[in-house]
Structure 1
Amino acid sequence: MKLRTAVTLLFTAVSAQLSASPLDESKIQFLGPIAGESTIKPADTAHRDAIIENLLPSLQQDAKQVTLFNNESKWQALNKVSQLTIPGLQALKFNFTTERFVSGKLKLEGIEKAKIFLNGEPVSGVKEVQLDVVKGDHQILVIAEQVNDWNKVDLSFEGEAAHDVITLTEKQTKALSAKQLFDAPTVSAISLAPNGEYYISTVRHYDDEKGNSAITETALYNEDGDMLYSFDGMSANSFAWRDDSSKLTYLKDNKAYVLDVKTFKRTQVATKLNGANSIEFFDNETLIFAWTNSGKEEGKLTKHYQGLEDRWSYARTQSQIFLLDIKSGLLNPVTVGTQSHSLADFDAQANTVLATRNKQDYAQPPHMLTELIEIDLSNNQQSVIGQYRTFSGAQYTKNGIYVTAGPDFAEGAGRNLPEGMLANNYDGQLYWIDRKGHNVKALSKNFDPAIGSFTVLNNGDVVLKATDQDRQQLFFFDESKSTFKRLNTGLDVVANYSVSSERNPEILFTGTTASTPQQLKTMSTSDKRAETLWDSTNIAYQNAEIANLEEFNFTNTEGVEIKGRVYLPHDLDKAKKYPALVYYYGGTSPVTRGFTGRYPFNLWAAKGYVVYVLQPTGATGFGQKFSAEHVNAWGEHTANDIIMGTKEFVKAYPFVDDKRLGNLGASYGGFMTMLLTTKTDLFSASISHAGISNITSYWGQGWWGYLYSGEASKGSFPWNNPTLYSQHSPVFNADKVTTPLLLIHGDADTNVPPGESHNMYTALKILGQDVELVEYKGADHQIFARDKRFHWWNTMLAYFDKHLKQEPQWWEHLYGK
């Protein structure tokens, strides 16, 4: 092959002046012939697309060679190719990096027939293809079917503007991408057998072919990790174990089944169970489950509300508890009536069931009442253990019941606050009560983490998950000593866990750290460290460039330490100035240290932003006094912390450009973003997702409005505290806004109705301020669908690129000039 002068595309300022440049052939890899000496090409068959696309996974890998029909073919540099013609298929591949959003045309001369892929997705064209790529690392793969003369093959790129530059690279590491973070396999559900010898796990991932539909694989494993049985279309959390671990029960297609774990014999034990859920073994011969029946509307023209709960779509759905005899299929109702009942726990030896029901009672915040009842199955008698304004869950233990609820449970039994402060009942506490509800012990009064889910062990000890500052941790509660011990999981955020019932119980759990992807681990309550069973790093994040993480805390004006963390871009150059993003929630929960999620901090750092995440006053997990500051504040303390924290952050990180700061938050964090625009001009651009602009309208119209306000505005209403409802509402202070603001909302949001963003958009438009509003069609409070998620992530980053990097092209590509 004749050699051409190889010019690395636009490597220098001089080459950036050129309108088009050839690509460096030494950095373009060539593979061929594919499929040996065969002259039959995919285009000669009826299956061209399938043949080529099935090759993609093998050809996309960074391996130096590919095994094809037991023959090893090696990639080589394109400038080493000497043949004029080559039979069969050939492949060209190169990696390139971009420092910003780039638009231009990739031109291929001398290739008559081919399919071209950008990052695994097909792009149209052969002689010329349009490339619109974001900052990061990318791959072009060309599968050539017809090349008449390889001497005449040329690849070049022509950018639309001087800044549209791509740089061919042979580096071994890759910047994190949105697709990588969303599509990577994760263990979404787990279930550990009582004897610890088996477990079920569900692994979920996404790809281009299935799009928004998750691909799931659920299987039964032994303790050595050997797969024993697979379940089609099921999730691990749909199964329940018999106490002796010999059998499983589950519901599928409105039928109840029992599966023998040794023989894998499946027995159908009941049918026509439409609406049944949460099935379990009550004892070896009996199953227990909840059975729901949707409530009927009274007519097509009107809906006559029966209470505040009618804003919830499921408010009229009735749920009752049933027993199912495995041998005969006989169904026996445990609860009946007009009130729904939820199963909390059961005690087969005592022949009792623990259940809850919610009475319609708005007398006191948070304007609902939970009854905890016990049902004696021997005579079907119900006894009310107690009525509670704050309540999360209950489980039997020896001689009593464990309950999780807020500090105000049982007339404030769990309160640990200065006189006069109102408790934040989202700050979960653990209690013990006797089975009559007369005696109450507050077990976590001096335990700062906020308790969530829990599992009671046979001896009365408890394994529980709690919010510990910005971490989700597992703890062990020793009943005999009444002490809490944090288990050394090695993770920052434990997502799911399942516990065996052995003498030394095993715990199976999943989670991440702020800087490492998901793992599946196991440990016993007595272990000093956990054992890793599965790690997504080796599957989806090999050679990934991950941001460096630093802790950054400061002391606010009240003398309270405010925790935070900073994500630094890979290969940070401290001699340069970087834009920064400040993220917060500000509601009752801290921003946990998950590796990815709806707001992917590691991705933002990969796009060239320093990212500061802080935990302002009012969050749970830092002690009751800290969380109680949330009550009746509506952003007052939170805003001060965010403003002060941002200023301290900029001082501590001199490579951050204080003229290029962006801030964003969602839900209550969206409210905080809007509120901050009325209080400070510290930020150069702000984004509010699903934020609240008018506290009154959210209280009256939001899905959880009146319940959430029952804590956040405890005892305060528009008629007795109008100052709180108006002057803390951003829309009432819209005339103070000078910061460019992007409002994002799902047009089907029931939690925070889209009108909350429309309020602010209308005000700022009338005031002539720089404001944008983007609604996602069919989206609720969160953006879940894969296509919408990618577009949403792009929208936020493109907006910040426009305002903080003075690079409007990405935004204009999405929304026009």
Structure 2
Amino acid sequence: MRYLLFLFSLLMTATLHAQDDIAYQTPPKLISDLVLAPPTPSISLSKKGDWLLLLQRSSYPSVEELAQPELKIAGLRINPANFAPSRQTFINSLVLRQVNSGKDFTITGLPSPLFASQVSWSPDEKKIALLHTSASRVDLYVIDVATRRAAKVNKTALNSIMVDYDWIDNQRLLYAVTTKTAAQAPKRSLLPKGPATQENLGKASPRPTYQDMIKSPHDEDLFAFYTTVQLIQNTNGAEQKIGQPAIYSRVSISPDKKYMLTQTIKKPFSYLVPASGFASAVSITDITGKLIKKITDLPSSETAPSGYDNVQPTPRGYGWRNDQPASLTWCEPLDSGLIKKPAEYRDAVYQLAAPFSGKAEQLFRTRMRFSYVLWGNDQAALVSEGLRSRQQTQLNRYSPITGDLEKLFSRNTTDAYSNPGQPVTAPNQWDKQTLLLLDKGNKILLNNITGSSPKGDLPFLLSFDLHTKKADTLWRCQEGTYEYVAQVSDPEKLVLITRRETENEVPNYWLKNLRLRIADRALTAFKDPYPAMKGVQKQKIKYQRADGVTLTGDLYTPAGYTPGKDAPLPVFIWAYPAEYSSVADAAQIRGSEHRFTTLSWGSPVFYVTQGYAVLNNAEMPIVATDTARKPNDNFIEQLRLNAEAAIRKLSDMKVGDSNRIAVGGHSYGAFMTANLLAHTKLFKAGIARSGAYNRTLTPFGFQNEDRTYWQAPELYHDMSPFSYANQIKTPLLLIHGDADNNTGTYPIQSERLFNAIKGHGGVVRYISLPYESHGYQGKENILHLLTEQLNWLDKYVKNAR
């Protein structure tokens, strides 16, 4: 008996000792300084380009801040103390800069400390609005640009959980306010009303594995309490109630400011899908909230068929035509929503104009699934359609006068070289963004901020003739830099604002005049936040896997390192798989070696400062090798080919020591990592963060795989590294946020894989980061994460025996 007590005491001591050892750690100071360096400000440009707002975002919050009360319900993360989304990244400083003079102005009247979000300009750009979120409430502030003074304009605290504020016009704002105080929240009774009950009466409801769903009648009460709002119209500080309190999932003002399109959630609330998929009612009211017309009732998305490109057999995509005063448009499927059903046309788009008492008019039909329409004027609009399952997209010119729909171009969505960019828009007479039409309506501008090419990413601006379908390049980024058009300030004079960077120069904004061809003028002069990275060498390397598919990656080597002269380095490969329908698309060059390296918490590049070669963004394409197969049909084989090619390239360059290589990834990259360790012996260690490892827990599809578990059970088994946990003998570091809200990546995925590997005697360590979601935020957690990763790499890779 004494022996048993002694043994129990030892076990308890060992357990407590293990728990006590798990204290927050920090990485070397060099890494800490890099990750905690203040980021360069982001900017918000006025439409005319005469004002520039510099926005300095807050640094990483403490874990203590993350630990504040949080309600996880209906797919939402809510701060119950202030009726706002939890875990926001706030702006803590704003500076107004006059573009012509370059003079900076401080804004007075803002709270200190400032926790700002949702910054927006008034239509005439004489005012700027923003939300300030304090511990107990959300308030709306308006800045007068002329005086640079801010003032709070609301009386009742805002509710920003589901409805954003909006400018009605230059004097009026629309927003939602709370109807009760936080203290009035429903209390959980020790004796529930009854058991939580769900049933299905023969209807198929194939849904993804969403997180944080409603689970009980008490959850229903909480959801209704926190999302019920009162709409308010604020005119120069005077508030007026609009309609009655309701759960609004959407409020949209008509271009002429006379009507509102509203979507209100109604019971019963779903236990399977998030709030965005709840049953709802779509209505049109006047600007005072008076009901004009009930448009339709939309069912819960529980009933949506599985498979990409399948939709519910109901109307969808309600919205205003931005080129008309008040015309409602929407789409309806012509094939019962089922893509496998033979049909010449898949969707039809309809219109109902004010006063909304007539019959809806069919505008056009699409042969693929309707995506969106970008309205221009009576002459032209652009209509997008496509099929995700086939990675196809098509852009059409629509004539509102004749009703004709003419194809402009189509392409595969994975064909980066053929991407012409996005159409440039401009505000019309109702201050709504519409298609920018030039040359008497014959031409548009297309802006491609990526500009993929065989020479790497070289962004460009095109002029495109809607009739001849001929494109002329107005401007393209020079080789040796990475620069894209951030805004077309004057389309007639071709005055642009661009964002330019190189591998050694931090991104800054420039004023460019293509007509006058005068020298570019710098609008910002942001400094390098990472002086410790000076001398680190970066290059985009190109190599081929055994079957001929061309791959690329961003290779970083330490300052002063010389391949061939210095010994090969330990290597850390970081990647994320992507699916392609053709070998040609997979082989295209993506990215630019001339991008400035920005370091966020998740970057693997930190470890180049610790003597590692880092291959970041190592391409891991999964390609459909023939038309009869889908990319994932030989997923594991292609992962192996990708990894072998990268290792071989690094070895041939005399940069990487092929006997000291680690692989890592986040989310789907973590899934990739575990599979590589289960099916190859190529690596000394792996780091997998926030992944999903058992695909039977995501049975209705995952990533770009739309086959269900019951349609392809062998695929789900073979692609799950959990199925081969007994083969994972390479040391694996598993990391997961204990509050992960991403679809499919429950923390249990890492917990179960850890237990499976441990049960088979593998080398594995599992770090559960408190209060973290799918992306990590807490300063202490991030510093600890970077330490754990470095320790793992040093122990099993750099100092491997």
**Structure 2 length normalisation: TM-score?**
0.63
Are the aligned partners of 1:321 and 1:341 in contact in 2 as well (CA < 8 Å)? no
C-alpha distance after superposition, 1:699-729 (max 9, x if no partner): 15xxxxx5x62x6222x11111101111111
Distance 1:617 1:188, change over 3 A: same
Give the match for residue 598 of structure 1.
601
Give the match for residue 98 of structure 1.
none
Distance 1:442 1:463, change over 3 A: closer
Aligned with 1:585: secondary structure?
A: strand
Give the match for residue 318 of structure 2.
373
C-alpha distance in 1 between matches for 2:179 and 2:458 = 37
- Which residue, out of 520, 529, 537, partners 1:548? 537
1:644-663 matched pairs, under 5 angstroms: 644-663=644-663
> In the TM superposition, what is the alpha-carbon distance from 1:772 to its structure 2 partner?
1.5
Are the aligned partners of 2:157 and 2:178 in contact in 1 as well (CA < 8 Å)? no
Give the match for residue 274 of structure 1.
158
Give the match for residue 52 of structure 2.
199
C-alpha distance in 2 between matches for 1:627 and 1:201 = 50
Distance 1:256 1:740, change over 3 A: closer
C-alpha distance in 2 between matches for 1:520 and 1:258 = 26
Instruction: Say whether residues 1:768 and 2:761 are aligned partners.
Output: yes
Instruction: Say whether residues 1:363 and 2:249 are aligned partners.
Output: no
Aligned with 1:775: secondary structure?
A: strand
Give the match for residue 326 of structure 1.
235
Deviates more, 1:725-734 or 1:200-209: 200-209
Question: What amino acid is the match of 1:423?
Answer: R
Instruction: Say whether residues 1:537 and 2:527 are aligned partners.
Output: yes
Are the aligned partners of 2:640 and 2:676 in contact in 1 as well (CA < 8 Å)? no
Distance 1:274 1:133, change over 3 A: closer
Are the aligned partners of 1:463 and 1:474 in contact in 2 as well (CA < 8 Å)? no
Give the match for residue 295 of structure 2.
none
> In the TM superposition, what is the alpha-carbon distance from 1:494 to its structure 2 partner?
8.0
Distance 1:492 1:297, change over 3 A: farther
Question: What amino acid is the match of 1:713?
Answer: E
Distance 1:181 1:434, change over 3 A: farther
C-alpha distance in 2 between matches for 1:468 and 1:721 = 37
Aligned with 1:733: secondary structure?
A: helix
**Structure 1 length normalisation: TM-score?**
0.62
Question: What amino acid is the match of 2:783?
Answer: F
Distance 1:680 1:563, change over 3 A: same
Deviates more, 1:263-272 or 1:545-554: 263-272
Aligned with 1:553: secondary structure?
A: strand
- Which residue, out of 421, 424, 448, partners 2:416? 448
Distance 1:477 1:430, change over 3 A: farther
Matched pairs, number: 608
Aligned with 2:679: secondary structure?
A: coil
> In the TM superposition, what is the alpha-carbon distance from 1:638 to its structure 2 partner?
4.7
C-alpha distance in 2 between matches for 1:617 and 1:559 = 14
Distance 1:563 1:688, change over 3 A: same
Aligned with 1:616: secondary structure?
A: strand
Instruction: Say whether residues 1:218 and 2:94 are aligned partners.
Output: yes
Distance 1:434 1:722, change over 3 A: farther
Instruction: Say whether residues 1:583 and 2:574 are aligned partners.
Output: yes
C-alpha distance after superposition, 1:572-602 (max 9, x if no partner): 1433231111111114698886432233344
C-alpha distance in 2 between matches for 1:392 and 1:297 = 41
Are the aligned partners of 2:568 and 2:656 in contact in 1 as well (CA < 8 Å)? yes
Are the aligned partners of 2:693 and 2:721 in contact in 1 as well (CA < 8 Å)? yes
Distance 1:557 1:576, change over 3 A: closer
C-alpha distance in 1 between matches for 2:558 and 2:233 = 57
Distance 1:662 1:244, change over 3 A: same
C-alpha distance in 1 between matches for 2:668 and 2:677 = 14
C-alpha distance in 2 between matches for 1:637 and 1:625 = 12
C-alpha distance in 2 between matches for 1:392 and 1:293 = 36
Give the match for residue 158 of structure 1.
none
Are the aligned partners of 2:571 and 2:656 in contact in 1 as well (CA < 8 Å)? yes
C-alpha distance after superposition, 1:636-680 (max 9, x if no partner): 465034223223323322242111111111100000000001221
C-alpha distance in 2 between matches for 1:203 and 1:395 = 32
Are the aligned partners of 2:557 and 2:613 in contact in 1 as well (CA < 8 Å)? yes
Distance 1:694 1:542, change over 3 A: closer
Gaps of 5+ in 1: 1-131, 139-176, 410-421, 701-705, 809-817
Aligned with 1:678: secondary structure?
A: helix
Question: What amino acid is the match of 1:608?
Answer: G
Give the match for residue 610 of structure 1.
613
Higher Rg of the two aligned structures: 1
Give the match for residue 294 of structure 2.
none
Give the match for residue 9 of structure 2.
none
C-alpha distance in 2 between matches for 1:374 and 1:776 = 41
1:17-416 matched pairs, under 5 angstroms: 177-204=30-57, 206=59, 216-223=92-99, 224-230=101-107, 231-232=110-111, 238-252=118-132, 254-264=138-148, 270-272=154-156, 274-276=158-160, 278-287=164-173, 301=192, 308=207, 311=210, 313=212, 324=233, 326=235, 329=238, 340-341=249-250, 343=252, 347-348=255-256, 360=301, 361-366=303-308, 371-375=316-320, 382-386=328-332, 395-399=374-378, 401-402=381-382, 407-408=386-387
Distance 1:304 1:335, change over 3 A: farther
C-alpha distance in 1 between matches for 2:228 and 2:488 = 27
Aligned with 2:659: secondary structure?
A: strand
Give the match for residue 771 of structure 2.
778
C-alpha distance in 1 between matches for 2:787 and 2:164 = 38
Distance 1:687 1:733, change over 3 A: same
C-alpha distance in 2 between matches for 1:514 and 1:767 = 45
> In the TM superposition, what is the alpha-carbon distance from 1:371 to its structure 2 partner?
2.0
C-alpha distance in 1 between matches for 2:237 and 2:35 = 46
Distance 1:493 1:769, change over 3 A: farther
Identical-pair percentage: 18
Question: What amino acid is the match of 1:260?
Answer: D
Are the aligned partners of 2:60 and 2:779 in contact in 1 as well (CA < 8 Å)? no
Are the aligned partners of 1:509 and 1:521 in contact in 2 as well (CA < 8 Å)? yes
- Which residue, out of 704, 713, 716, partners 1:725? 716
Distance 1:513 1:721, change over 3 A: farther
Are the aligned partners of 1:192 and 1:508 in contact in 2 as well (CA < 8 Å)? no
Deviates more, 1:326-335 or 1:217-226: 326-335
Distance 1:208 1:255, change over 3 A: closer
C-alpha distance after superposition, 1:424-459 (max 9, x if no partner): 48xx87665567998374656276267998751353
Aligned with 1:186: secondary structure?
A: coil
